[in-house]
Amino acid sequence: MNYCQQQVGLREKCGVYGVYNTGDISMGSAAYLALFSMQHRGQDGAGIASTDGKTVRYHKDLGLVGDVFDAQTLKMFDKQKIAVGHVRYATSADAHAVLSVQPIVMHSKDGFLAICHNGHIVNGPALSASLRDKGVLLQSDVDSEILLHLIARRMEVGLEQAIIGMMQVVYGSYALTIMNREKLVGVRDPWGIRPLCIGKVGNSYMLASESCTFDALGGVFIRDVAPGEIVTIDESGLHSVQGKVVAEHMCVFEYVYFARADSTMCGAGVYGARYRAGQLLAKNHPVEADMVAGVPESALPSAIGYADASGIPYGQALLKNPYVGRTFIQPSQIVRENTVRLKLTPLAEQVRGKRIVLVDDSIVRGTTTIKLVETLRQAGAKEVHMRISSPPVKYPCHFGINTPNAGQLIGSKLKVEGVRKLLGADSLEYLDLDMLTSSVYDENGNGPKGFCTACFDGNYPMDLKKCKRKGC
């Protein structure tokens, strides 16, 4: 996915982490590396909370992981027993709200609770209103605080049962890491929309949004947390209880774009899923060309798959500038319009006089793709054929991805030929939905039992109108 889409189009909300230390690891360094490995899931804020079994300490702030934590700050976590961590993307309305940065920590007569959340609660406003009617003072509008209060109000029955009670009234997506003085708990929503997995470093159990985190720490991936499952890790080991159960609807866009290519989700490797999508794209939408190229970074496996299946040589047409990130300041309209050229520059000697197949993972508004096609033509490309390894994005996401409204989505306004003309491409083809979902499964059939594909087909896994009205 290209830069403008990251800025104003599809954006993942968060990444979560948790660890129960048995003495094998340095907690500060481990938490830092874990969050750094998930930086792609959130770049607006980061935080860590930990406990030694008695008190809680935490540090969080706006910015990238490397900006929020320094060596001195990380030392405060080193001799701790349990920790949770979070990286966050924010919407434009709350991008600079420090109160919204997680973990959220609450103190009560039962001790403290700290929570990290990836996802979005559909009935958050209704739950917030219900809690306020009951006298609860909310410090922010963050879903995570609502979840924390719903759990804390039920703590007389124990943490796990309190979470089960919370699940009965909450509709939406959530992957949670929660800790108190004694336990680390991982929770995945009953629909399984957002990912969460279990790993181990030495004898210390960990929870993370993606398996790449365990690789970064020299650990091993054990398994995914099942939809609706509550996993508890304490001094006696790992325990599991099944909460609310609904049919699995794993977000298919995790495989398309959000997850790191070296992660495994629901038994299916992300790189392999993208590679197979590219192969299917080539088999179903061939074109005569001289070179296949991908838009860095997430589309590269699909571009390689397309090249291998088509027999057209793979090459690099665009060079990514690693120093132009999301925090790049855009002081004028001129700079905004040229952001694509600053982020992705053409390799003229590679594209000059050639017919190029340019593979990308998705098109949101289309403004960036227009610039890419224009840039390649100016660099001397003879033809530019766009191939997209997912269907047109037509509907907004309500489960933790910051999509524009339907009126801003080019796929909801124009048919394929209309989009092609707007982009200025010689041809444009998308991978259809059945092929996209089939590409996730590996040769052994590993993969989710079902998908959320609402951004493509409008089939949401719950009745949004009814669910939005449900309070507690």
Structure tokens given for 126? 């209704």
Helix, strand, coil percentages for the chain (3-state, nearest 5): 35, 25, 40
Position 384 scores a pLDDT of 98
- To 5 degrees, how large is the angle CA 122–CA 128–CA 134? 145
Catalytic residue chosen out of the listed positions 14, 197, 452, 455: 14
Under DSSP, is residue 23 helix (H, G, I), strand (E, B) or coil? coil
Indicate whether 464 pLDDT > 50: yes
Confidence of residue 323 (pLDDT cuts 50, 70, 90): confident
pTM for this predicted structure? 0.92
User: Measured at the alpha carbon of residue 61, what is the angle toward residues 60 and 64, in degrees to the nearest 5?
Assistant: 110
Q: How confident is the model at residue 408 (pLDDT cuts 50, 70, 90)?
A: confident
Quote the pLDDT of residue 19.
Answer: 98
Q: Is the pLDDT of residue 403 over 80?
A: no
Least confident of 242-256, 327-341, 346-360: 327-341
**Band (71; pLDDT cuts 50, 70, 90):** very high
Model pLDDT, residue 333: 44
What mean pLDDT value characterizes the chain? 91
pLDDT tens digits, 52-65: 999 999 999 999 99
> Following DSSP, what letter does each residue of 324-361 receive, concatenated?
--TT----SHHHHHTHHHHHEEE-HHHHTT-EEEEEES
Which of 270, 274, 293, 259 has the alpha carbon at shortest distance from 381?
293
| Mean pLDDT, range 132-158, rounded to an integer | 92
Token digits for 86? 């979070």
37 three-state secondary structure: helix
Termini Cα distance of the chain:
39
User: Any residues with CB less than 8 A from the CB of 449 and at least 6 apart, and which?
Assistant: 247, 248
pLDDT of residue 337: 54
Q: How far apart are CA 312 and CA 290, in angstroms?
A: 6
pLDDT attached to residue 325: 54
Q: Which domains occur in the chain, in start order?
A: 3-246 (3.60.20.10), 271-441 (3.40.50.2020)
- Would residue 452 show up in a list of annotated catalytic residues for this protein? no
Radius of gyration in angstroms for the set of CA atoms belonging to the chain, rounded to a whole number: 22
